[in-house]
Amino acid sequence: MLLNITDPAIMFSGISLLFLAYTNRYLALSSVIRTLNNELKKDDGKNRVQQIRNLHLRIIFIKYMQAFGVLSFLFCVFAMLMLFWQEQMLGEVLFIISLVTMVISLVLSLIEIMMSGQSLKIELDRTNVRDLWDK
């Protein structure tokens, strides 16, 4: 397979959209954490502590999602540079590494999404709404 210099460029728009989505998730979570921390000062219920722990772990996942996204972007750029300099084999290897790091970022994103469901479960447990659904 012969990789063209424009082939890795296809990933740029997707990576940019992922960064926007990851950043929005991060900002939303940080806002929720600040609110919960303020409520924790008033009422240190077990539920709030569980939620803050869950949100803290999700923030860590988002940090790694972003890091692997950045690595993917960098390897994609390096792949284009190698292809520009007629280093076909190295360009292909760097592009494959770029794809692998993007897959890692997406898998971390999937795990974080699954964790967001756990965060909602904690909130539903607090309000006993789940009990109504179980009946």
3: alpha, beta or left, given left = phi > 0 and alpha = psi -120 to 50? beta
CA–CA–CA angle 91, 96, 97 (5° rounding):
95
Per-residue pLDDT band at 89 (split at 50, 70, 90): very high
What rounded mean pLDDT belongs to the chain?
82
Query: Domain locations in the chain?
Result: 10-134
- Tokens coding 1: 């397979």
Look at the pTM and tell me if it is higher than 0.95. no
Which pLDDT belongs to residue 94?
96
- Tokens coding 74: 């960098």
H-run or E-run covering 34: helix 10-42
Per-residue pLDDT band at 124 (split at 50, 70, 90): low
